[in-house]
Structure 1
Amino acid sequence: MAKLPELYVAVDVEADGPIPGPYSMISLGMAVVGRPDLTFYTELRPISDDFVPKALAVSGLDRERLLREAPTAEQAMSAATRWIDGLRRIGRPVFLAGPAVFDGMFVHWYFMRFLGKSPFNISGAGLDLRSYWMGLTGCEWGDSRKTMIIKQLGLTGLTHTHHAGDDAAELAQIFEAILKSRQSRETDPTQSG
């Protein structure tokens, strides 16, 4: 049996505070790198009464509407799991975020808290955009900001909207360009960061 390819799943979340538990993930977006047809988006009902107004404002989402209309965390994470597990027909899902620390913290905590397991694996481990770029190019941390990566890759027309679905798709495009850059480096060793 042939080994299935890795599918890098670009993940973005919007949250109403800095950590899960006391605060809520209010939207989740995912997009498969190189496959713009494979996307997932859901909003989530807040799980606590606490929120940071500035954090909530970033997303532009209406908290009262989410409390009335959004799926519960269990419903949303179950739908996300079904979508991720559906990808297994064509590849092995690998979590990707930028930054993985923030998005990964929320996603892993929500999977474990509301479903008891994560479809990405027990550790919730995955790739961090900036760390990957540093390893590929040998640059310093300060030169690994997403805006710097976009500029070095010559990407145009990308917008960061703070809509989790849009931003996951943007991240997928950036990482696709990084993978193409890596392939170019492998075939032309004179290329540098």
Structure 2
Amino acid sequence: MAKVHVCNVLVYDNPSAFLKPFQFEITFECIEDLKEDLEWKIIYVGSAESEQYDQVLDTILVGPVPEGRHMFVFTADPPNPSRIPMQDLVGVTVVLLTCSYKEKEFIRVGYYVNVDYADAELKENPPATPVYEKLVRNILATNPRVTRFKIDWDDQEAVNQENVPPTTSAASLNAHEDPFGPLKNPVATSKSEESSMEVI
């Protein structure tokens, strides 16, 4: 049984300028005290074609974590646009929020992200060289894809993670389906001016 359950994720400041930081408010619950830290990551998928363009925007350690419900805001710098293939900069991509315990990933929340120009003229006639300052990103926060992995929380014999090794590419949003196909576990709601999803 999982010892950590992600209860809710709020996406702040969405939509926003492409060069602004990402902000996720994460609420999670521990069913018992954890001896080790939880490792959270925000990963931006630069291209659906190759993982080499994935960027880990930030990694934080949270712990030690006592039993109970906890909440924090995870803020990360935007991706470096110069490391994204020019043909993949504008359009639909993915941002991943992952959590691991003892270097074993047990949950991944993936969001589609639409990147485009806010200016109608630039939309119609995009410049040959992207103007980063004019780009806007919109995280489709009401349609997350949640993937859970079984891990061994107690350092006993390794548990089979549904025979699917975690990866960080766009395809990893759902290891068994087309990454841009129907969502798996689309348990989401919208709240006030902030976008949110609830994970049960």
More helix by share: 1
**TM norm structure 2:** 0.30
**TM norm structure 1:** 0.31
More strand by share: 2
